């Protein structure tokens, strides 16, 4: 994405788990951000000409031989820099300060005191606040020219600054929600230190991407694999706006969507200036899955078969561009920005070998999920698509424990529909909620007869990043209605349970 007209803040990654969150927070403050590896050459940074640089946290000790380091020249560029956690220790170590192991390590929420209200980072913030700490080392002596400006009970230097050189650092994580007023601190750095103008917004992204799509595609056709998820739906919407009449959306219906979902996706895109192709492949997928119970095997079979079906259908459009709903976290996690692979993504890495496509169009490649949702709303997409919950690629196959059959999927579909319907009636909204059909049967009594049917699990969680979660405290009255409806209306279920496990130790999905 072209950002030549936007101010940019570079986030240099040193292995921090929150690097994407830092970049997102910067963009929430209406400043463009870009994640790069911590060892990015100085010359490359100069070409970008950022208004500020943020150094991420990381799991290393700066005094260890194999830890990531940076060069002193980074701090001599005249560009404002904010170090966070490991980034603070790296700044201190590189500039001649001293970093030592903590006498008492700090993990979790910790009360911190901002000692110097004149420090630009703390302008307008309360002097005592709660922060998220996660460190075993600390800055025992600040470099020459710096002064300590915050502390906790166990960390004498929780923040430091050298205002003359516009170098600032905090030991805690301002990017997470558990640090109160953390976003305000980042905003102070961006606007009071870096001189940000706040010139980044989604409306500009739409205009730039439409122009870029038209320049890239010209008069050629474009083919998109449409899953109905947020990313592919927004990708379809912006492509249709940019090149009306040149887009074909192929929706591979593998038979493992939620109740009515395939029809809802078709309704959302039928009648628009694009060619919508729905491939009914339910029998084909169920045939491949017959007798398979192992979760990873299910995923692999579905993934491979999906590719085959899409290739067969898209082969009719040889000489077209391939569009993908790749988003920025996919790129970051695949190591294409930092060099460190977190997990590979099927839609990252270029065109497959022996392809008949002439190129890839990825209009969302540099956007975060919240930006993609905002983009979808600007483009007029139906809210049911824009706010769609995360849904696994294999669909209900990984929420149906054990063997996959149409009968078992229909049981799960009906129960899940009742669950979602009753939560909506009760005015309850959670970050993710769904039903799971187990492969366990238990004895029950219905009427005067004995039953031996499935146990159904319900799951609802609250999370801001999907890296961790807490289970949702659904009122008993609502759970009672849901359970009663499911056992009475869904043939095959005789017992309903509610999952009260957080992440960790559990994952959000059951498989």
pLDDT digits (tens, 9 = 90+) for 119-169: 999 999 999 999 999 899 999 999 999 999 999 999 999 999 999 999 999
Residue 273 lies in a domain: yes
Helix or strand or coil: residue 106? strand
pTM of this prediction? 0.79
Residue 26: closest CA among 390, 469, 370, 388: 370
Residue 481 lies in a domain: yes
Indicate which CATH number applies to the domain containing 189: 3.40.50.880
Cα–Cα separations (whole angstroms), residue 20 to 12, 80, 352, 465: 11, 20, 27, 10
Indicate which CATH number applies to the domain containing 456: 3.30.300.10
Residue 3: closest CA among 215, 208, 214: 208
At 50-65, the pLDDT tens digits run: 999 999 999 999 999 8
Residue 475 and residue 363 share a domain: no
Share of the chain above pLDDT 90, in %: 75
Residue 1 lies in a domain: no
Residue 210 lies in a domain: yes
Least confident of 127-131, 147-151, 273-277, 463-467: 463-467
Confirm if 491 and 454 have CB atoms less than 8 A apart. no
What does the alpha-carbon distance between residue 269 and residue 471 come to, in Å, rounded to a whole number? 34
Contacts of 25 (CB under 8 A, 6+ apart): 174, 175, 182, 183, 186
CA 398 to mean position of chain CA atoms: 20
Give the pLDDT band (50/70/90) at residue 354.
low
Residue 208 lies in a domain: yes
Residue 382 and residue 343 share a domain: yes
Residue 152 and residue 40 share a domain: yes
pLDDT attached to residue 334? 60
Beta bridge partners of 37: 13
Residue 218 and residue 75 share a domain: no
pLDDT greater than 70 at residue 392: yes
pLDDT greater than 80 at residue 342: no
pLDDT greater than 50 at residue 103: yes
Query: Structurally, how many domains does the chain consist of?
Result: 3
Residue 468 and residue 382 share a domain: no
Residue 120 lies in a domain: yes
Residue 412 and residue 301 share a domain: no
Indicate which CATH number applies to the domain containing 241: 3.40.50.620
Residue 2 lies in a domain: no
Last residue of a domain, one of 386, 407, 423: 386
Residue 486 and residue 345 share a domain: no
Identify the domain containing residue 452 by its residue range. Answer: 399-498
What does the alpha-carbon distance between residue 145 and residue 72 come to, in Å, rounded to a whole number? 15
Give the pLDDT band (50/70/90) at residue 332.
confident
Residue 425 and residue 347 share a domain: no
Torsion sign, CA atoms 88, 177, 154, 15: negative
Structure tokens at 27: 């963009």
Residue 142 and residue 81 share a domain: yes
Cis-peptide, bond into residue 258, ω within 30° of zero: no
Q: Hey, which residues are catalytic here?
A: 85, 173, 175
Last residue of a domain, one of 158, 193, 228: 193
Residue 47 and residue 73 share a domain: yes
Residue 352 and residue 276 share a domain: yes
Helix or strand or coil: residue 195? coil
Residues in the chain, total: 511
Residue 442 and residue 338 share a domain: no
Residue 394 lies in a domain: no
Residue 412: closest CA among 421, 401, 422, 428: 401
pLDDT attached to residue 302? 94
Angle between helical axes of 476-489 and 406-425 (0-180°, round to 10):
150
């Amino acid at each position: 994405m072209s950002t030549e007209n936007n101010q940019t803040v570079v986030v240099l990654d040193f292995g921090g788990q929150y690097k994407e969150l830092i970049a997102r927070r910067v963009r929430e403050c209406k400043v463009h951000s870009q994640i790069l590896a911590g060892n990015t050459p100085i010359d490359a940074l100069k070409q970008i000409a950022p208004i500020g640089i943020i150094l991420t946290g990381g799991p290393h000790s700066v005094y260890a031989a194999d830890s990531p380091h940076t060069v002193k020249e980074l701090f001599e560029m005249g560009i404002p820099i904010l170090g966070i956690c490991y980034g603070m220790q790296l700044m201190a170590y590189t500039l001649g300060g001293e970093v030592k192991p903590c006498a008492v390590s700090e993990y979790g929420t910790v009360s911190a005191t901002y000692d110097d209200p004149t420090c630009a980072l703390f302008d307008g913030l309360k002097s005592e606040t709660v922060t998220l700490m996660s460190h075993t080392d600390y800055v025992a002596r600040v470099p020459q020219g710096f002064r300590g400006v915050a502390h906790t009970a166990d960390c004498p230097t929780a923040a430091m600054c050298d205002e003359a050189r516009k170098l600032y650092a905090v030991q805690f994580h301002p990017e997470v929600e558990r640090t109160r007023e953390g976003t305000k601190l980042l905003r102070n750095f961006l606007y009071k230190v870096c001189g940000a103008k706040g010139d980044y917004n989604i409306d500009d992204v739409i205009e730039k991407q439409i122009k870029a799509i038209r320049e890239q595609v010209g008069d050629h056709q474009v083919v998109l694999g449409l899953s109905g998820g947020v990313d592919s739906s927004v990708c379809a919407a912006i492509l249709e706006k940019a090149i009306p009449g040149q887009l074909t959306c192929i929706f591979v219906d593998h038979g493992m969507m939620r109740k009515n979902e395939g029809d809802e996706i078709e309704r959302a895109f039928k009648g628009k200036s694009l060619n919508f192709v729905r491939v009914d492949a339910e029998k084909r997928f169920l045939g491949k899955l017959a007798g398979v119970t192992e979760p990873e095997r299910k995923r692999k079979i579905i993934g491979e078969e999906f590719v085959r079906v899409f290739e067969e259908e898209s082969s009719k459009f040889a000489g077209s561009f391939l569009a993908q709903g790749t988003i920025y976290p996919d790129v970051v996690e695949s190591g294409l920005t930092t060099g460190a692979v977190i997990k590979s993504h099927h839609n990252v890495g270029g065109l497959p070998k022996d392809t008949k496509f002439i190129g890839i169009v990825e209009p969302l490649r540099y956007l975060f999920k919240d930006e993609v949702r905002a983009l979808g709303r600007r483009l007029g997409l139906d809210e049911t698509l824009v706010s769609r919950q995360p849904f696994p690629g294999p669909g209900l196959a990984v929420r149906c424990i054990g063997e996959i059959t149409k009968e078992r999927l229909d049981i799960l579909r009906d129960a899940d529909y009742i669950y979602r319907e009753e939560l909506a009636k009760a005015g309850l909204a959670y970050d993710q909620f769904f039903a799971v059909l187990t492969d366990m049967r238990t004895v029950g009594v219905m009427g005067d007869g004995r039953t031996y049917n499935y146990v159904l699990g319900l799951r609802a969680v609250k999370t801001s990043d999907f890296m961790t979660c807490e289970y949702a405290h659904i009122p008993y009255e609502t759970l009672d209605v849901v359970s009663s409806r499911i056992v009475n209306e869904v043939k095959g279920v005789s017992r309903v349970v509610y999952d009260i496990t957080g992440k960790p130790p559990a994952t959000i999905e059951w498989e």
